[in-house]
Amino acid sequence: MKQPRPYPRLTVTKKGERWLSSGHLWVFESDVAEQPPAENGAIVDVLGPGGAYLGTGLLSHESKIRARIVSRNANDRFDQAFWDRKAAWAWGYRRTVLGPRSLPGCEPDTACCRVLFSEADGFPGMTVDRYGDVLVAQPTTAGMDRLRPQVYAAVLKALAEDPSGPAIRGLYERADGTVREKEGLDRHQGWWLPESGSPADGLLPSHTTATQVRVQENGITYTVDLARSQKTGFFLDQKYNRRAVGRLAPGRRVLDCFSHVGPFGLNAAKGGAEFVRCVDISQTACDLALANAQTNGLVGTMAFTCANVFEYLDALIADKRRLREDGGPFDLIVLDPPAFTKSRSTQGRALRGYREINNQALRLLPRGGYLATCSCSQHMPAELLKQAVAEAAHDARVTLRQVEERQQAPDHPILLDVPETHYLDFLIFQAV
């Protein structure tokens, strides 16, 4: 580089240069030729072996992903204005792609959505979700952890300039994931309080203690526990897939497996299902699902079972009387399992898991019934999920007709050059 810059320089190998030139945003430890003596989380310029500027990223001392690119523009200055622009772009995108989809007479779809989605929005390792007038943030990388005050201030500024939504009254940090340990970071959670005089000072209350909030999605009200629920409190990525299930539900008997706090089941019940049974291994989740059904006046058509889904489905297959007692036969079955794999090394085992659970569901599904099934792991892409379902259908002697192929909601955007941002695939079939 010819012009002087204030940032330490990290040099990559030829392989690393080819990787970054392909459009990806990560510098792997194995591709580092020379690493500067900079602090963990520092901003560094990334150069090719010949000195060509490849981008500016955030350094991670202890991660196998040694740096994550945040800009490829050598003229960028990484001050508050830089992060303000990026947050404004991220929120403007969501207003564009979510706003027109809002259901008539219901809350805006931007009232309950993902505000920042890590690399896909240029904030690698930072997730921020909005639940009405509360934000929940998950910083998972050293760089984003170091930049939290600037990033939070930028997000709050972008939302404050949008007159269509409520003022944000609090930001809760879920910095408690085990992935932080791989970055050399501590684990904690709690309400974030900006320093006096910071750009965010005055936008948030001095303190608050309640971590349960009421939110609305698809016209359904939920109680979300920010402190104790999975992820940031709710699975926002399935928003429109839940609507798709609701559209299939009128007059049907629905089995919602791995139901968590009941969003698929609630959308089915609100959509006109005759009966919905939700099954989840967590008693806490089942209790919250029941409470959500009561809040929405849907408890009369819903029932809840706390059980291991694999064991429960086996019991229904083996005992037709139990099936009838529990509300079956079910002509719409929803499978929303947790990720069966978090790495490529366990992909084979995960494939067997998806094949087994779909086989169980198809053995219960009558001809003409519908199966909605999904994978929430980037290591189980749509083609592998289809393979698992096809093999399950063959074993169950069922012919399937594909109705829809869907993915994560657009507030969880996918970068074509970063396949890791695509992690959710959702398929709907009819047994014919």
| Residues carrying an active site annotation | 376
Can you tell me the distance from the alpha carbon of 235 to that of 369, in angstroms, rounded to the nearest whole number?
Answer: 26
Cis status of the peptide bond prior to 149, with omega within 30 of 0? no
What is the per-residue DSSP string for 300-317? GGEEEEES-HHHHHHHHH
The tokens of 264 are what? 């698929």
Give Cβ neighbours of residue 403 (< 8 Å, ≥ 6 apart). Answer: 370, 428, 429, 430
Can you tell me the distance from the alpha carbon of 243 to that of 270, in angstroms, rounded to the nearest whole number?
Answer: 10
Question: Which amino acid type is present at position 22?
Answer: S
Burial 280-299 (b: 16+ CB within 10 A, else e): bbeeebbebbbebbeebebe
Give the other-Cβ count within 10 Å of 207's Cβ.
Answer: 9
Angle at 14 between CA 9 and CA 15, to 5 degrees: 110
Q: Is 57 helix (H, G, I), strand (E, B) or coil?
A: strand
Can you tell me the distance from the alpha carbon of 218 to that of 236, in angstroms, rounded to the nearest whole number?
Answer: 11
Angle between helices 263-270 and 283-295 (to 10 degrees): 30
What is the per-residue DSSP string for 276-301? EEEEES-HHHHHHHHHHHHHTT-GGG
Q: Which of 362, 376, 366 is nearest to 407 (CA)?
A: 376
Q: Please state the φ and ψ torsions of residue 349, each to the nearest 5 degrees.
A: -65, -40
The tokens of 196 are what? 């006096």
CB 204 within 8 A of CB 192: yes
Q: Is 428 helix (H, G, I), strand (E, B) or coil?
A: strand
Angle between helices 347-364 and 382-396 (to 10 degrees): 40
